[in-house]
Chain A
Amino acid sequence: MSTAPGPGARGDGGEHPRHRLEQPLLHAVRFSIVATLSASEMAEFAFVRDTVEVSDSVLSKQVAVLENAGYVSVLKGYAGKRPRTWLRLTPDGRDAFARHLEALRDIARQGG
């Protein structure tokens, strides 16, 4: 899900990299959640919460947004009797994060 080219797009046929940023990943917490999941195959909810340093409720809310965007899948299960929630980046989420990082690199190179 990319932002559409806006009035700030360059007239030389080259598009400013900000138009390639993924809208859902512009939020700092969502960006950190996806960064955590991109470095793993699957991570438990508590691990992501501790890594991103947010509360359970904030993580739940932002994970729901990412899930609706199709970036993250949520799996629920049990370890013994203890319920556990696992988060994993979908292939679309992985692609979107790679595109977002590429756009950020271009923006950083151009100095904004």
Chain B
Amino acid sequence: MSEPTGSDAARSLADAERIATLVRARTSQNVVSWLAGTAVASAFYLTGVGAAGREWDWIAMLSGLLGTAVVSVTALFFSTDVTGARAQLRRWWRAVLVWLLVLGVALGVGLPLFPGQLWFWLPIAVVSAVPLMVGIALEVRE
């Protein structure tokens, strides 16, 4: 097997970069789709919870729907034919954790103090999507 010359080495490096770009584009697409879908679901969920007031059955049903949707999409996300590199998964996790924190605070404050008051729930619904949108922005920038 012959050893590479300078131009062979440059060609190999370009090839490695081309492949890495191809793989990253594919895995980024999965991450961005997950984050965007969850951002929309989160906003609808909190709006629904706000509109439900003290109808606990409705709130439980909405929570079940959100949980099922997120778990199903996450299962799909991890069963695709390629999963992102460790740094990409770390960025995704960070966005998910901040989103869960915001969601927890919104429910923890909103349900006992502002049931049915849409002036609270509509802005918080938008705010809940922000960590996920930031995650998308970071992913696209990478």
A90 at the interface (CB under 8 A from B): no
Q: What is the size category of the interface that chain A forms with chain B?
A: 20 to 34
Cα(A25)–Cα(B3), bound, Å: 11
Q: Is B82's CB under 8 angstroms from A42's CB?
A: yes
Cα(A52)–Cα(B20), bound, Å: 11
- Please give, as numbers and ranges, the residues of chain B lying within 8 Å of A42 by CB-CB distance: 82-83
Cα(A52)–Cα(B83), bound, Å: 17
Cα(A18)–Cα(B12), bound, Å: 14
Contacts A36-B23, A40-B23, A51-B22 given; does A112 touch B6 at CB 8 Å: yes
Most central of A18, A46, A108, A112 by chain B CB within 10 Å: A108
Residues of A13-57 at the interface with B, using a CB-CB cut-off of 8 Å, are 18, 21, 23, 26-27, 31-32, 35-36, 38-44, 46-47, 51-52
Contacts A40-B85, A41-B84 given; does A107 touch B1 at CB 8 Å: no
Which A residue's beta carbon lies closest to that of B87? A41
Cα(A101)–Cα(B9), bound, Å: 9
A111 at the interface (CB under 8 A from B): yes
A-B interface contact total, Cβ < 8 Å: 83
Cα(A97)–Cα(B82), bound, Å: 19
Digitize A75-112: 1 where CB-to-B-CB distance is under 8 Å, 0 elsewhere.
00001000000000000000000000100110111111
Which A residue's beta carbon lies closest to that of B25? A39
Contacts A41-B89, A51-B19 given; does A108 touch B1 at CB 8 Å: no
Most central of B23, B82, B83, B85 by chain A CB within 10 Å: B82
User: Could you list 24 A-B pairs, sorted by A, with CB under 8 Å?
Assistant: A31-B12, A35-B15, A35-B19, A35-B20, A38-B85, A40-B23, A41-B84, A41-B86, A42-B82, A42-B83, A43-B83, A51-B22, A52-B19, A101-B13, A104-B9, A107-B5, A107-B8, A107-B9, A108-B6, A108-B10, A110-B6, A111-B6, A112-B5, A112-B8
Query: Interface residues, chain B, CB within 8 Å of chain A?
Result: 1, 3-10, 12-13, 15-16, 19-20, 22-24, 27, 79, 81-86, 89
Told that A36-B19, A43-B83, A44-B81 touch, could you supply 8 new A-B pairs with CB distance under 8 A? A21-B3, A31-B12, A38-B16, A40-B82, A40-B83, A51-B19, A79-B79, A104-B4
